Amino acid sequence: MATDTYIPRRLDDQWKIGFWDMDVAMPVLFAIFVGWLAGTRTAFCICVAIGITISRKLSKVKADKHEAYVLHWMYWWLPCTPLTALASTPPSHCRRMIG
């Protein structure tokens, strides 16, 4: 065959929006949405600035950690709901495991 075949190097990469990971881009996108709902330019600019600040802090926190650090943090520190509960792991409020 004369055509080149593309072989992906990484299959388990996180989802990306442009160059940013999804968990870093979401605060900015949420802030843009909230600013748009506010209806004024001043509120929009303030919300976008807050979103950019939060996303920069988040990217600095997860810089030297595992790729799924934010998901792990959310599992242990956010309340358990039927949508976020995992069947194969203990609830997040059970900190001591026997065995």
Domain that holds residue 49: 16-77
CA–CA distance, 53 with 47 (Å, rounded to integer): 10
Within-domain flag for 65:
yes
Tell whether the model's pLDDT for residue 1 goes beyond 60.
Answer: no
Within-domain flag for 9:
no
Within-domain flag for 7:
no
Within-domain flag for 94:
no
Within-domain flag for 30:
yes
Within-domain flag for 88:
no
pTM metric for this prediction: 0.62
**What's the structural domain count of the chain?**
1
pLDDT tens digits for 12-71? 667 777 777 788 888 899 999 999 999 899 999 999 999 999 999 988 888 888 877 877
Within-domain flag for 2:
no
Within-domain flag for 22:
yes
Tell whether the model's pLDDT for residue 90 goes beyond 70.
Answer: no
Composition of the chain by helix, strand, coil, percent to 5:
45, 5, 50
90 or 52: whose pLDDT is higher?
A: 52
